[in-house]
Chain A
Amino acid sequence: MIESHLPAYIALTFVLFSVLIPALGLWKRNLSQPLAVIGSGIAAVFSLYGFVTYLNGSPIRYFFGGWEAPIGIEFVYDGLSGFFVLVINAVAFFVMIHSGETSRREFPGKEMPYYALAMLMMLGFNGMILTGDLFNLYVFLEIASLSGYALIAIGEKPAPYAAFRYLIIGTAGGTLYLLGVGFLYTITGTLNIIDMTAMLPMLAESNAAVAALILMIVGIGVKAALFPMHGWLPDSYTYAASSSTALIAPIGTKVAAYILFRVILWLFGIELTDAVAPISYIVGVLACLGILYGSIMAIAQNEMKRMLAYSSVSQIGYIIMGLSLANPWGFAGAMLHVLNHAIMKACLFMIAGQLRLKEGHSDISRFNDSYRTKYPWTMASFSVAAISMIGLPPLAGFFSKWYLALGTIDNSNWLFLAVILISSLLNAVYFFRVLEKVYMMDPYKGQTEPKEGAYNESKASMLIPTSILAVSLIVIGFANAIIVGILLDIFPM
């Protein structure tokens, strides 16, 4: 039966294509991108099918080779992992379609390694989400990270330096996580998440468990770019090639956030997490600081990709803040924001890539109102994504904020509520700045006549993915009640 093997199929698809692409790509380089599209497409279909199956049935536990835990390794396809897998594979599919043109132009001749690495990274991400074993998770984390470092290093001149910096910080983070897993293993004797969940309540106040929790949060916090461990992110996202950023930015930090969800809400549970110290609150405060810091830094940026990178620091804060609230509304808001932000950021980074191809730069100060006539559809998509980022109804971004606000109120957490509101305003500042540049004359430069440019839109292979993502923000906005209904059922308490 296909259903019972689904978790394995999703991961194996990427294994298969990460081998197929070098094999066929050496023969015909042009095959790399179509293969990556097919691979991520198949994975997205499996994920969708799996999620629908999950909704009609129950979680799938898949034991590799039939060896049950603790001897074997299992993949667990439950609501949380199913949702994350669906989000990242769907977004990756659109990014892969879009990336053909940018990769051909930005790093000609290197498409084959790029796509092979992209498939490997997706394997790592999917594995991290699906695995039911904490050590196995570390293995997938390293697969994803190493291919991620390589992907980031493909890019502008400073990219290898940014990648190297990420490598150092990221490896430290990974090691801290592994150390935490080690602590847990010594006290529980298992690495299987489900088994460990059953055992931890007896051990929660042991120093080892607390230390493990903190080590894991800090270690994964690096990967999630949780403030103040976000230092690697802005440079990496800015200097990496457009197609790399568009792939990593929407989903990389989300996968790390997934681990935090799994560890804090499932493995430990919120009571145990906060048994000794108010850890979830501290995480929430860090998230808030990240939200404000990221938004303020985004305002200060002139380069669009860099602005979006800082914006990511801020947006991941929303997700982790929602997690730290540990109530149904907060959880629903955070999870909805995982979906929304993945779509918005993919759309925006893809548009940054399109502008770089057309104009050779993405410096906001050099944007002008001819873009309005030159790239009407690209700019329309940009406007939709930007307004969703600001959080105006009926676009998707509004609703994640609405649920997060309900979550903060349920916890009587006025500080976090204020942060959500203030940050929306800051978002408005840095997005309306771009919209002003693109849609209006610039009287501050003495412009009195509108600039008109001949229609010069990007190719359909790029326009269609960005447009679909932009439209999906409207659709999700109106359909969010259905999604949130599902998410509320996933909440573990």
Chain B
Amino acid sequence: MDLSLVPLYAVLVSLIAVVPIMLSSAKPNLREFWTILAALIKFGLVLTLLPGALEGKSVELHLIDLAPGLPLALKADPFGVFFAVIASGLWIFTSFYSIGYVRGAGEHKQTRYFASFAVCLSATIGIAFSANLLTFILFYEMLTVATYPLVIHNEKKDGIEAGRKYLAFTLTAGLLLVAASALVYHYTGTIDFTPGGVFTGVELPHTAMLVVFILFLAAVGVKAGIMPIHGWLPAAMAAPTPVSALLHAVAVVKSGVFAVTRVVGYVFGVDVMGDYGLNDILIVLAGATIILASLIAFAQDNLKQRLAYSTVGHLSYIVLGVALLTPFGMQGGIMHIAAHATLKITLFFCAGAIYVNLKRKNISNLNGIAKVMPWTMGAFTIGSLGLAGIPPINGFFSKWTLALGSLEGDMVIPVIILVVSGLLNVGYFFPIVYRAYFKPGEGLEGYGEASPLMVVPIMVTATLSVLFGLFPNLFFGMYDLAVEISLSLFNTASP
């Protein structure tokens, strides 16, 4: 089977789905059918790329020239496929969940919601498969624009202000990315993502390299939620919960950390990062973000806000792992992309189910709800355990690998940060679980679980979290893939 066009189809399928989604706006069931269909096809297409990726092969596709000598090029390399599998796979569950959520909550402008969602997924897969920085910029900005209608969805003051904040952060980031990419093009004559980086053989003054790196860091750090440029993420919680779940826990923010990894491993390269001491900046920022975000999470009474700060912290686990510049660190970071995705989407799904069902947003109101929503709270407990890094849920293994990675690099402080952060995670998640199970609740009579459209996806993602914790290679060989990606970055860098 010829795979060369599959990356293009995988990007386009949800973009094309926008047309039938818009046209069937009067028939909600038909409209949602298109979303589900697009999600299934997209996931199927991505899966066909998986066997090749496991063997370390890439599928490359050059479309037209975007600028003289700079093609619009897609390349499904192992890392791209890894990210695409996660994003497109979770989109299927989110789609079902979304249907339950928007109908349960009686949201307005549902067509716009589903259409924007589909565009977001095209952009995410485009980001995963971008072969060079210009293509990447195209999809990165597309993601920004497509997420905007979802952030402002409620069209109330908080939504609109969140939207403005979101645009201010992400558009600035996009411009810095343009500047950084133009500088790379100027200095190296190429903007292709290359394992080992494009700066080999290019001698640059330290300050020039530092400036380029800081531009990149600010550009991709926004979506990766690195402090102090994370501010849009908690604000964006004004969006409907499925948006927070898939986009602000998986697609958008993971595009950010994905981009950090691309920049570190494929633009600068591990050697250059180390030689110029650029990774130190990243380690310090990521370490500080992990601790600070966890502490701030304590202070949040709004459940989604607490989850948002938790996301900020966990994104920096990935950044930290990448910044360690050791094979295990890289591998742990990449694995945490997958681990955090299933765990955090579960938690957000739970938060959304609680909101739609009980109309409760604040943690202080969650007393005793486990009695009426046992499945949901069971899943929530699994997610909390996983993020705290307790075996056998899948957050444990990535954290373990991260710790190995920092010891491999003779660094102890990152290990301490990981341990402390694990405790803090327990500290801010378990009071929620405790309230739900052990405190007497009020006003819960007559309530039961949310609609099956929401509960089933919750159970599926929770089960996935456990299964991937027990058998990291189950289904898709994600563990092997992470190892493969990590080694490819180091083998090329030091021939």
Question: Chain A residues in contact with chain B, CB under 8 A?
Answer: 387, 390, 392-394, 398-399, 401-403, 405-406, 409-410, 417, 421, 424-425, 428, 432, 436, 439-441, 443-444, 450, 478-482, 484-485, 488
A484/B68 in contact, CB under 8 A: yes
Q: Is the CB of A443 within 8 A of B108?
A: no
The answer for the CA separation of A394 and B182 in the assembled complex, in Å, is 16
Known contacts A402-B182, A409-B183; decide if A444 and B67 are in contact (CB<8 Å).
no
List 5 A–B pairs whose Cβ atoms lie within 8 Å, in order of A's numbering: A402-B134, A402-B182, A405-B182, A406-B186, A432-B167
Chain B binding surface, main DSSP class: helix
Partner of A421, one of B70, B156, B163, B178: B178
Considering the complex, which residues of chain B in the window 87-114 have a beta carbon less than 8 Å from any beta carbon of chain A? Answer: 108-109
Q: For the complex, is B152 an interface residue (Cβ under 8 Å from A)?
A: yes
Q: Are B155 and A478 in contact (CB under 8 A)?
A: no
CB-based nearest A residue for B112: A439
Stretch at the interface among B10-18, B168-176, B284-292: B168-176
Q: Does B66 contact A (CB under 8 A)?
A: yes
B152 touches A481 (CB 8 A): no
- Whether B68 lies near A392 (C-beta < 8 A) is no
Q: Which residue of B lies closest to A449 (CB)?
A: B108
| CB atoms of A405 and B179 under 8 A apart | yes
Q: Closest CB of chain B to A422's CB: distance in Å?
A: 8
- CB-nearest residue of chain B to A450: B108
With A and B bound together, what is the CA distance between A394 and B64 in angstroms?
12
- Provide the residues of chain B in CB contact with A440, threshold 8 Å: 152, 155, 160
The reply to whether the CB of B404 lies closer than 8 angstroms to some CB of chain A is: no
Q: Are B67 and A480 touching (Cβ within 8 A)?
A: yes
Given that A405-B178, A481-B66 are known contacts, is A424 also in contact with B171, CB under 8 Å in the complex? yes
Question: Which chain B residues numbered 138 to 187 have a C-beta less than 8 Å away from chain A?
Answer: 138, 141-142, 144-145, 149, 152, 155-157, 160, 163-164, 167-168, 171-172, 174-176, 178-179, 182-183, 185-186
Q: Which residues of A sit under 8 angstroms from B138, Cβ to Cβ?
A: 393-394
Q: Is B137 located at the chain interface by the 8 A CB criterion?
A: yes
Flag if A485 contacts B68 (CB, 8 Å).
yes
Neighbour of A401 across the interface among B178, B183, B186, CB < 8 A: B178
A407 CB to closest chain B CB, in angstroms?
Answer: 9
Check: B65 CB closer than 8 A to any chain A CB. Answer: yes
Of the listed residues B174, B175, B185, the one surrounded by the most CB atoms of chain A closer than 10 A to its CB is B175
Contact of B145 among A392, A439, A478 (CB under 8 A): A392
Residues of A within 8 A of B185 (CB): 406
B-side interface residues toward A, CB under 8 Å?
64-68, 70, 72, 108-109, 134, 137-138, 141-142, 144-145, 149, 152, 155-157, 160, 163-164, 167-168, 171-172, 174-176, 178-179, 182-183, 185-186
Instruction: Check if A481 sits within 8 Å of B68, measured CB to CB.
Output: yes
Which 5 pairs of residues, A with B, have the shortest CB-CB distance? Answer: A481-B65, A393-B138, A441-B155, A421-B175, A443-B157
Contact across chains for A443 and B174 when beta carbons are under 8 A apart: no
Chain A residues within 8 Å of B72, by CB = 478
Smallest beta-carbon distance B69→chain A, Å:
8
Q: Which residues of A contact B65 (CB under 8 A)?
A: 481-482
B160 contact from A402, A410, A436, Cβ within 8 A: A436
Q: A428-B171, A488-B68 are in contact. Are A406 and B152 (CB under 8 A)?
A: no
A338: min CB distance to chain B, Å: 17
Partner of A484 from the list B64, B67, B134, B144 (CB cut-off 8 Å) is B67
Known: A421-B179, A441-B155, A481-B64. A393 touches B137 (CB 8 A): yes
CA distance A480 to B185 in the complex (A): 18
A443–B156 contact, CB under 8 A? Answer: yes
Evaluate whether A387 and B67 lie within 8 angstroms (CB atoms) in the complex, with A405-B182, A424-B175 already known: no
Assess whether A425 is in contact with B175, with CB atoms less than 8 Å apart. Answer: yes
Q: Is there an interface contact between A428 and B167, defined as CB atoms closer than 8 Å?
A: yes
CA distance A443 to B70 in the complex (A): 44
Which of chain B's residues have a CB closer than 8 A to the CB of A394?
66, 138
A392 contacts B141, C-beta separation under 8 Å: yes
Q: Are A393 and B160 interface neighbours, CB within 8 A?
A: no
Q: Select from chain B the residue with minimum beta-carbon distance to A409.
A: B186
Minimum CB distance partner of A435 in chain B: B148
CA of A380 to CA of B175, assembled, Å: 24
Q: What's the nearest-Cβ distance from chain B to residue A292, in Å?
A: 15
Given A401-B178, A480-B66, 16 more pairs with CB closer than 8 A: A392-B141, A393-B134, A393-B137, A394-B66, A399-B67, A402-B182, A409-B182, A409-B183, A421-B175, A424-B171, A425-B168, A425-B171, A443-B155, A443-B156, A450-B155, A478-B66
Partner of B176, one of A406, A421, A432: A421
